[in-house]
Amino acid sequence: MRSVSYEIPSLKKQMSRCEQLALESERRAEECLHGAAEQREQYYNSCKNYGISGEDIQKELLALVCDVPSFLRQIGADAVGLLSAIQLYQACVTFVCDSSPEKALPLLRHVQKCGDTTVYEWRVGRAPERVERPDKREQETPPCPEEGEINWGDFEVQPSTTAEIEAGPDSMATGDIDWGISLEPEAAEVGGINWDAGEEPTAMITLLETGTDGVARGSDALSVLESTDTRNQFVDELMESCSCASGNKAWTATQTLSL
């Protein structure tokens, strides 16, 4: 009688909860399958936009890198058609700023005239006699340390001499370090300022101009559109000339409508 009164209703409630959980699980499984199908479709669409099949992402993307130099050379060749836009920008700069047009868009004019040359030729003004491109193996990212491993760096510890060890820590406080400060009263004027400091011979600094031996090395061996700095400058100058051309077009259209 007790089982009929208490345990059977409890079992019925438990069965209803289990049925409800099963229905909820089936609904969530369908949603997950639908979401997985959408993500798979987006994945293959992205692969199609990049021109790869998506079977081996790493190898296929690395294979696309081989096409980058030819693509950049094609961009440099297409820059020949920018002559009219460059001349328009130079005319605007001359009219508005009253400055020399030769200083406007230097890199864009170089690519328009010579194509995608090396950074050495853009910087020096002549083609290099020999090009030594950086080794790709040197540009690879170093392996990350394993989890739990601490990289302490390459600190070199200088061994202490026998005299320093025997002297102990008191030798640091005895004034053995020459800080270059003179406390003699005859070396200072009124107010404690030594006005004779400027009479000391100044150090000679020699600046060596790199990349003038006819050999393009390192970043100079990269093309103008391969190097990050020159590529960003090229894009900036291109956008600047495009904005000038679009502004001039809008102004011409306004003047035409006003007439």
Question: To the nearest whole number, what is the mean pLDDT of the chain?
Answer: 75
- The per-residue pLDDT for 43 is 92
Let me know whether 130 and 81 are in one domain.
Answer: yes
Q: What is the DSSP string of 71-140?
A: HHHHHHHHGGGGHHHHHHHHHHHHHHH---GGGSSHHHHHHHHH-S-BHHHHHHSS--SEEEPPPGGGGS
63-122: pLDDT as tens digits: 888 888 888 889 888 888 888 888 888 888 888 887 777 888 889 999 999 989 999 998
**Residue 153 — φ and ψ, nearest 5°?**
80, -175
Are 2 and 38 found together in one domain?
A: yes
Q: Give the distance, in angstroms, between the CA of residue 187 and the centroid of all CA atoms in the same chain.
A: 52
Predicted confidence (pLDDT) per residue in 190-213, tens digit: 455 555 555 444 444 443 445 557
| Residue 215 scores a pLDDT above 90 | no
Please check whether residues 122 and 224 belong to one and the same domain: yes
Q: Which residues contact 110 (CB under 8 A, 6 or more apart)?
A: 117, 122, 224
pTM of the model: 0.52
Report yes or no on 119 lying in a domain.
yes
Specify the pLDDT at position 37.
Answer: 94
Q: Is the pLDDT confidence value at 253 over 80?
A: no
CA distance 21 to 15: 10
- Per the structure, the count of domains in the chain is 2
Residue 7 lies inside a defined structural domain of this protein:
yes
Percent of the chain with pLDDT over 90: 18
Confidence class for position 19, pLDDT limits 50, 70, 90: very high
- Statement to judge: residues 112 and 219 lie in one domain: yes
Cβ atoms of 237 and 105 closer than 8 Å: yes
Give the per-residue pLDDT at 205: 41
Work out the number of other CB atoms within 10 angstroms of the CB of residue 111. Answer: 26
Assess contact for 134 and 218: CB atoms under 8 A.
Answer: yes
pLDDT value for 251: 59
Residue 20 lies inside a defined structural domain of this protein: yes
pLDDT at 182 > cutoff 50: yes
User: Does 40 share its domain with 7?
Assistant: yes
Interior CA angle at 81 toward 75 and 82, to 5°? 90
Quick check: 120 and 108 in contact, CB under 8 A? no
Same domain for 2 and 43: yes
Q: Is residue 17 part of a domain?
A: yes
DSSP strand E in the chain: where? 130-132, 215-217
DSSP class per residue in 132-197: EPPPGGGGSPPPPPPTT------PPPPPPPHHHHHH-GGGGGTT-S--S----GGG--TTS--GGG
Q: What is the pLDDT of residue 42?
A: 93
pLDDT for 254 equals 57
190 within a domain of the structure (yes/no):
no
Local confidence band at 216 (pLDDT 50, 70, 90 cut-offs): confident
The answer to the question of residue 118 being in a domain is yes
Residue 167 inside a domain? The answer is no
Domain holding 117, by residue range, is 68-134+215-251
Judged against a pLDDT cut of 80, whether residue 151 lies above it is answered with no
- Sign for the CA dihedral angle at 25, 28, 33, 39 comes to negative
| The two three-digit tokens of residue 218, written as one number | 């390192």
Same domain, 78 and 125: yes
